[in-house]
Amino acid sequence: MLQDDGSSSVTSSSPLQNFSMISSLSPGFGGSPYQWLKELKSEERGLYLIHLLLTCANHVAAGNLENANIALDQISHLASPNGDTMQRIASYFAEALADRIMRSWHGIYKALHSTKLWMVSEDILVKKMFFEYFPFLKVASVITNQAIIEAMEGEKMVHIVDLNASEPLQWRALLQDLSARPEGPPHLRITGVHQQKEVLEQIAHVLTEEAEKLDIPFQFHQVVSKLENLDIEKLRVKTGEALAISSVMQLHTLLAHDDEPPKKSPLAFKNLNGLHLQRSLLNQNTLGDLLEKDTPNVFSPGNESASSSPLSTTASAKMDGFLHALWGLSPKVMVVTEQDSNHNGTTLMERLSESLYFYAALFDCLEFTLQRTSLERLKVEKMLFGEEIKNIVACEGGERKERHEKLDKWFQRFDGAGFGNVPLSYYAMLQARRLLQSYSCEGYKIKEERGSVVICWQDRPLFSVSAWRCRR
């Protein structure tokens, strides 16, 4: 991460000299030493913000609203959505913690949000920005298209089901690749699933126009639906078609339907491991130590959630039912792109610590891509990442949709549903690496894991792409 002077806080090793003052403050941080806070250097400020966020989360989890409020007040004097990377991250995590508190007062929360407007056009725009400024979805598109082309070799009737049809560029590139097949292009039908009709209509227009230009027999079938409400029959899969399915950052939302609303207030999620994590973080010397190193001896979110969290194991009635329904369609290949991080823990501290690492990497990507004053950067951070952070931290039960899980969990789920992994080809990997090399930033990396691809920022896994076929 870049500091104000352009140096990197990840590689810096200077000690946080004033950090010992934290332990001398009262639990409620009475006295509010705001002047001292404002004099902190960039690295020290980042480290203290992490401490404040974890402390605040522990107070929220314990239902100690007075101390949570004091911590949020201190964060507000250090964080800024227009500042350096850590200041920006802290702004959105603080907002999420405050939102979690407000949700315990249903009347106040509803009144504050009753006039909130969310424009469809803005939602579409910010997702296009994510596609444009980050390479993740472009890499996933290249890998997906190559897997489909290889699976559909020699097929004359091809049907692709896109479970998150939000961007036409991927399928336009596929049309161009199919038109160059030695045996000639197949008859192609794409079924797009999306909850916004305007998005599907735009995609249909772009792809129909491209197919006419390339003289490819083509149909685009629109299914306006959320994934959770999707009627498989509406996909209209026909006998004689070779079927491919693409899912981009959608399947994890189905995990919300097996989580009953919590019996207690959203505040009442105390996690002693979170307290131990906080104490461990106090002993770290730099912001880089906090965001780039794990603390396995103190708190391992992956291990704990796997052993003690019934909602984050592979058992999921909604997910299993959906995957079995897709298996019943006999796809020749299904390509899945998902966030590669465990944000599906049952406790607040599990999710906050994991998501802090994950979104720190994404915010860091933008630090190297766009100026801090960029309006586009602010929109992506606030309207996309900020909303995801809020959902992970503030929501419980069926409202918590952003239930990202690691690639190993998807292997378990697909294996249980009767799918076998299809190792991605050398050519697919080669195309993905070439695409990343076209970016001037060297922080993006690709690694192969169990025949699948994990796209990283530095060494932090962010997104996975895996391919599957029916196992008979």
Percent composition of the chain: helix, strand, coil (DSSP 3-state, to 5)? 55, 15, 35
429 contacts: CB under 8 Å, gap ≥ 6: 143, 446, 448, 453
Q: How many CB atoms lie within 10 A of CB 62?
A: 17
Mean pLDDT for 176-196 is 94
Residue 249, Ramachandran bin (φ over 0: left; ψ between -120 and 50: alpha; else beta): left
Evaluate if residue 413 carries a pLDDT over 90: yes
Report residue 124's pLDDT band, with 50, 70 and 90 as the boundaries.
Answer: confident
pLDDT digits (tens, 9 = 90+) for 244-275: 999 999 999 999 876 654 444 444 333 434 44
- The residue with tokens 């999710």 is 351
The closest alpha carbon to 388, from 400, 379, 406, belongs to 400
Q: Is the dihedral of CA 37, 76, 357, 346 positive or negative?
A: positive
pLDDT digits (tens, 9 = 90+) for 146-165: 999 999 999 999 999 999 99
> Does 316 or 169 have the greater pLDDT score?
169
pLDDT digits (tens, 9 = 90+) for 378-408: 999 999 999 999 999 999 988 999 999 999 9
80: phi then psi, degrees, rounded to nearest 5:
-160, 130
Evaluate if residue 34 carries a pLDDT over 90: no
The closest alpha carbon to 353, from 321, 393, 397, belongs to 393
Mean pLDDT for 402-431 is 95
The pLDDT assigned to 33 comes to 52
The pLDDT assigned to 330 comes to 95
pLDDT digits (tens, 9 = 90+) for 47-84: 999 999 999 999 999 999 999 999 999 999 999 999 99
pLDDT digits (tens, 9 = 90+) for 268-311: 333 434 444 443 333 433 344 445 443 333 333 333 333 333 33
User: Is the CB of residue 312 less than 8 Å from the CB of residue 33?
Assistant: no
Mean pLDDT for 130-154 is 95
Q: What is the mean pLDDT of the chain?
A: 82
The closest alpha carbon to 156, from 132, 183, 131, belongs to 183
369 contacts: CB under 8 Å, gap ≥ 6: 133, 134, 377, 441
Q: Where are the alpha helices (DSSP H) in 395-425?
A: 407-416
Query: Kindly report the CA angle at 396 between 393 and 397, in degrees rounded to 5?
Result: 150
The closest alpha carbon to 133, from 378, 343, 434, belongs to 378
| Tokens at 264, concatenated | 């207690």
The pLDDT assigned to 341 comes to 95
> Does 204 or 282 have the greater pLDDT score?
204
User: Is the CB of residue 99 less than 8 Å from the CB of residue 390?
Assistant: yes
- The residue with tokens 């735009």 is 202
Report residue 134's pLDDT band, with 50, 70 and 90 as the boundaries.
Answer: very high
Mean pLDDT for 338-347 is 94
Gap between the Cα atoms of 267 and 238, Å rounded: 50
The pLDDT assigned to 333 comes to 97
The closest alpha carbon to 412, from 300, 337, 319, belongs to 319
Domain boundaries, the chain: 35-113, 125-257+313-340+404-470
The pLDDT assigned to 123 comes to 78
Report residue 2's pLDDT band, with 50, 70 and 90 as the boundaries.
Answer: very low
Question: Is the model's pTM score more than 0.85?
Answer: no
Cα separation values, 302 from 295, 299, 354, 450, Å = 12, 9, 9, 18
Gap between the Cα atoms of 106 and 111, Å rounded: 8
Share of the chain above pLDDT 90, in %: 66
Distance from chain centroid for Cα 337: 10
The pLDDT assigned to 271 comes to 40
Q: Identity (one letter) of the amino acid at 11?
A: T
The pLDDT assigned to 1 comes to 45
Gap between the Cα atoms of 374 and 89, Å rounded: 16
Q: Which long-range contacts (CB under 8 A, 24 or more apart) does 448-454 make?
A: 448/424, 449/407, 450/407, 450/411, 450/421, 451/421, 451/422, 451/423, 451/424, 452/407, 452/421, 452/423, 452/424, 453/139, 453/143, 453/424, 453/428, 453/429, 454/340, 454/407
The pLDDT assigned to 9 comes to 40
The pLDDT assigned to 273 comes to 42
Gap between the Cα atoms of 221 and 204, Å rounded: 8
Gap between the Cα atoms of 162 and 200, Å rounded: 11
Report residue 438's pLDDT band, with 50, 70 and 90 as the boundaries.
Answer: confident
| CATH entry, 125-257+313-340+404-470, from 3.40.630.30, 3.30.9.10, 3.40.50.10470, 3.40.50.150 | 3.40.50.150
The pLDDT assigned to 250 comes to 94
Q: Where are the alpha helices (DSSP H) in 269-316?
A: 272-282, 287-292, 301-308
